[in-house]
Amino acid sequence: MQDVSVSEGDIALVHALEVNPRATWSLLGEVLGVTPMTVARRWAKLFDQGAAWIAVLPGPVAWHSFAMIGINCASPRIDEVAATIAQDPLAITVEVTAGRYDLLVAVLAPDMATLSWYITDRLNRIQYITSTTSAIATEVFSEGSQWRIGAISRNQEHDLAPSSTGIRPTTPDVSDVDRELINALSYDGRMSFGDLASRIDRNASTVMRRLDRLLKHGLVTLRCEIASSLSGWPLHASLQFRVSPQHLGEVGRELAKWPEVRMCVALAAERNLMVSIWIRNASELTLFEMKVLREFPHVIVVDRTLDLRVMKRTGHMLDEAGRSIGVVPIDLWSQVQPRQAP
């Protein structure tokens, strides 16, 4: 893939789409101070080059069967194992790491039975895996859709924010038509309603209504992603902490607000808090760790890892620069677990 560079205007557009991934070109142009045509042209360039994209992933109500899985492999086969796991629709992120594990995989399942099957059956069938360590999430304090690249003002964010009545408490079923819509959006989260309608053979008003319903009920989330090599935060790292139960919520909620933090999650494990961060260089990992210990002296740092490569992020396959080169749609509702005989 050719070399890609981004301008300050491109980064501002990415930030705007982090706030409102399907904002109209008119609104984006008005807030960013350029014409709608300029905004559309900039996005087309970023998207076509794999530099930025709108990912589709399960929404807040679906994050109740989530696990982080550390995997060790026969050393010559690490990339082969990672590529195999990356093709699984339940594996939302696959990272090749330097640290305790060769791979760190985020898995999201529709229920605990499917998550159990994935951990105890699916992974055991993959050749060259030598060991796995799983930790199931008990609370997600933040995930990447809340992260901001830091290129526009609070006032601009306010002007871009979509009108919202909050997540509705009831959770409707996801139909086959909904799955077709989610799958189509996975390839281009800004695809027009007309193009989506043609893709799934439905009319545009039906598509608009169904997407609105999926978003309002928290079944799906749209997230603007950028290649980390172009973001100003090119390195990824993870830290695992041991926090007393009485302080876990407080620490998790506070760390979730820090600008480096992409994900903060409580785990049912001895290392009961995990944080994923984006940093500018390796030395910032130590600085982040020191800041945590200064702010929360009772917290114990148990482990830290740096990513060598992110092979898959939120359903998109990435090259070594973190650019999107393909899509494996995240599909919680597919029949990935073999049915048991009656």
Residue 341: its pLDDT value, please? Answer: 39
Alpha carbons 61 and 51: distance in angstroms, whole number: 29
pLDDT at 342 over 90: no
- Is 254 in contact with 294 (CB distance < 8 Å)? no
Summarised one tens digit per residue, pLDDT across range 78-135 is: 999 999 999 999 999 999 999 999 999 999 998 999 999 999 999 999 999 999 999 9
Other beta carbons less than 10 A from residue 130's beta carbon: 12
The model carries a pTM of: 0.92
Alpha carbons 305 and 276: distance in angstroms, whole number: 10
Share of the chain above pLDDT 70, in %: 94
**Cβ within 8 Å of residue 332, ≥6 positions away:** 58, 62, 89, 90, 108, 109, 110
Summarised one tens digit per residue, pLDDT across range 304-333 is: 999 999 999 999 999 999 999 999 999 887
Residue 168: its pLDDT value, please? Answer: 58
